[in-house]
Amino acid sequence: MTTPRLLIIGPQGSGKGTQGERIAKAYGIPAVSTGDVFRANVKEGTPLGLQVKAIIDAGDLVPDALTGEIVRDRLAQDDAAAGFLLDGYPRNIGQVGDLDAFLDERDEPLTAVVELSVPREESITRIAKRASEQGRADDNDESIAKRLAIYESETAPVLDVYRERGIVDAIDGVGTLDEVFERIIVALTARGIVPAT
């Protein structure tokens, strides 16, 4: 059986946070979401949180070095030894190199990348709905457009790197949560990555 060392990628509003949690539960692995780690620090008012809040409020992305440090620390924890699911990292080519170096040291390469494909209009609709439901200050029209543009310019090339390695499964992200989740499980099972539950 292949160890589930996974990465989930998709534009904001693609449902990757929700699907990521479901995948992590099905495989008994931690979901490592940089966004969640950042938000937890912001909520707790840690020095990192204050730094991150200022960056996010401006609609910008947290610098690579800071993000990489947090991810490496999280992946070195015991519960990630049997696999993990990364969400939100790596999001650009520089971060791919950083993650590769860390995983190569441990001889633990990524085993699959789940790409959630969602049309831009669908992403925007979903984010607007989330903003009204959760009252997230970073979900305004301007920051949404900015984040989607950054995703298209910086994160899309990350997928090209992983496609060359033959580990990307493109999943249609439109449908019910269960339909999309089922597509993901089928794709991963075809790679020998079988759910624990």
Residues assigned a catalytic role: 16, 91, 130, 136, 147
Cα 15 vs. chain centroid, distance in angstroms?
10
Query: Residue 106 contacts by C-beta under 8 Å, 6 or more apart in sequence?
Result: none
d(CA 74, CA 77): 6
Nearest to 37 by CA among 23, 52, 15: 52
For residue 87, the surrounding DSSP H or E stretch is strand 84-87
d(CA 52, CA 141): 20
Nearest to 87 by CA among 42, 149, 29, 47: 29
